[in-house]
Amino acid sequence: MTKRFFKALMTGAVLSVGVTGGAYAAECIAPANPGGGWDFTCRQIGKIMYDIGVVDQPVQVTNMAGAGGGLAYNHVVAERGSDEDLIVAASTATSTRLAQNAYAGMTADQVRFVGAIGADPGVIVVAADSPYQSLNDLVDAIKADPGSVAFAGGSAVGGFDHIKPLMILQRAGFTDIKKVKYIGVDGGADAITQTVGGFTQAMTGDMSEVVGFLKAGEVRVIAVLTEERIPGFEDIPTAKEQGLDVVAVNWRGLYVPKDIPDAKFDEWAGKLQQVADSDEWKEAMVANGLAPFTKVGGDFQSYVDGLVAEINTMSKELGVIQ
């Protein structure tokens, strides 16, 4: 009896571990905690890929939070370099950090960027009871006393969420950007919690991260960083129409390990294109305040290379890196 039970215990252990190994199912790593943008990318794209039948097993999502995506990037580069069944959620934030050498010496050419199929507009958010009614109110307050406003965001110091308010301030003629306070927390939801709680005065993040809180009336979006107002959120003014011409969108896409065959790379690019064309994805974009933005395959790789170079130059101007 006992031995038999013990055997059963062992079998159970081995079986359950076998499922984790995921020899057949594709895995999508979301390099942040659940609830943020990367997590959304993995879950939506993974689910739609399975629903429309481009993968035959459900895509398994792994959350690997830390160092603003640096931990996951390192994991892929160091340990999964030729894993053909691995996709990783990426965004503008990924390219920002690579451009700023924020992944501890790792560079953009250590993985292959396979495609982006949507962009999440950047937003600047304050608590519903905040005295700041417009972006200019906030900018004026910082100009008068840089210490009076602290931003919270889901990316590490120097990351894209940090850069967004700095770009705005630079346009407004405020150049002493080292005085601007910013704390990086684990994800956009956490950043909003800190802002609604009054520990920080403003939150910098993406539209998809604030929709729920916006509907609940907890926060006020004082600026969206796009060319035009977003469909469905027409009452939110752009930064541009408030005289501060900053456009900062966060594309949602994927990268894959560097050493996979070209054929496999093209296969993933094709799958991503199919997701982009699906009705399910169009619905998901509307529900989450995403704007269409489709670039896949080699096209996207060159876009990312350009972006990395551009952010690198800009970061030097901003003084974030040497």
Partner 1 sequence: MEMLANLSLGFSVALSPFTLALAVAGCFLGTIIGALPGLGPSNGVAILIPLTFTMGLDATSALVLMTAVYYGAMYGGRISSILLNIPGDEPALMTTLDGYPMAKQGRAGDALVLSGVASFVGAFLATIGLMLLAPMLARVAYLFGPAEYFALYLLAFCTLGGMASNNQAKAALASCIGLGIAMIGVDSSSGLPRLTGGNLHLYDGIDFLVAIVGLFAIAEVFFFIESHGKGSSIGVKLDKVRIPWKDIMATKWTMLRASFVGFIAGILPGAGASLGSFLAYMSEKSIAGEKGGFGTGVAKGVAAPEAGNNSAAGGALVPMLTLGVPGSGTTAVLLALLMTLNITPGPTLFTERPEVVWGLIASLLIANVVLLLMNVPMVKIFVKILMVPAWVLLPGVTMISFVGIYSLSGSYFDLLLMVGFGVLGYILRKLEIPTVPVILGILLGGNMEDALRRAMVLSDGDAMFLFSTPIAIGLWIAAIAGFVAPMFLRGVLKKPQAVTD
Q: Between residue 121 and residue 160, which ones bind partner 1 under the rule CB under 8 A?
A: 147, 150, 156-158
Q: Which two tokens stand for residue 107?
A: 């560079």
Question: Beta strand pairing status for 150-153 and 219-224?
Answer: unpaired
Work out whether 17 is an interface residue with partner 1 (CB under 8 A). yes
Work out whether 3 is an interface residue with partner 1 (CB under 8 A). yes
Backbone φ and ψ for 55, nearest 5 degrees, come out as -120, 145
Report 248-287 residues binding partner 1 (CB under 8 A).
none
Q: Which amino acid is at 174?
A: F
Work out whether 103 is an interface residue with partner 1 (CB under 8 A). yes
Nearer of residues 69 and 297 to partner 1, judged by Cβ: 69
**Does residue 317 contact residue 236 with C-beta atoms inside 8 Å?**
no
Residue 224: Cβ within 10 Å count: 27
| Minimum distance of partner 1 from residue 298's CB (angstroms) | 29
The secondary structure of 209-227 as a DSSP string is HHHHHHHTTSEEEEEE-SS
Nearer of residues 267 and 280 to partner 1, judged by Cβ: 280
Candidate residues 31, 41, 45, 70; the one interacting with partner 1 per rule CB under 8 A: 70
Find all residues with CB under 8 Å of 190, minimum gap 6, and list them. Answer: 33, 152, 154
Report 289-318 residues binding partner 1 (CB under 8 A).
none
- What mask of x and - would describe binding to partner 1 in positions 212 to 241, judged by CB under 8 A? xx-xx-x-----------------------
Q: Which amino acid is at 236?
A: I
| Minimum distance of partner 1 from residue 276's CB (angstroms) | 18
Q: Which amino acid is at 190?
A: D
Q: Which amino acid is at 191?
A: A
Nearer of residues 63 and 134 to partner 1, judged by Cβ: 63
Report 76-95 residues binding partner 1 (CB under 8 A).
78-79
Report 22-61 residues binding partner 1 (CB under 8 A).
22, 25, 33-35, 39-40, 43, 46-47, 50, 57-58, 60-61
Residue the block writes with tokens 């469905």: 232
Work out whether 20 is an interface residue with partner 1 (CB under 8 A). yes
Work out whether 97 is an interface residue with partner 1 (CB under 8 A). yes
Report 157-216 residues binding partner 1 (CB under 8 A).
157-158, 181-187, 189-190, 192-194, 196-200, 211-213, 215-216
User: What whole-number distance in Å separates Cα of residue 212 and Cα of residue 231?
Assistant: 16
For 109, 141, 160, 163, 250, the CA distances from 315, given in Å and listed in that order, are 19, 24, 10, 8, 17
Backbone φ and ψ for 14, nearest 5 degrees, come out as -65, -40
Nearer of residues 81 and 237 to partner 1, judged by Cβ: 81
For 128, 141, 320, the CA distances from 246, given in Å and listed in that order, are 23, 19, 18
| Minimum distance of partner 1 from residue 110's CB (angstroms) | 12
| Minimum distance of partner 1 from residue 82's CB (angstroms) | 13
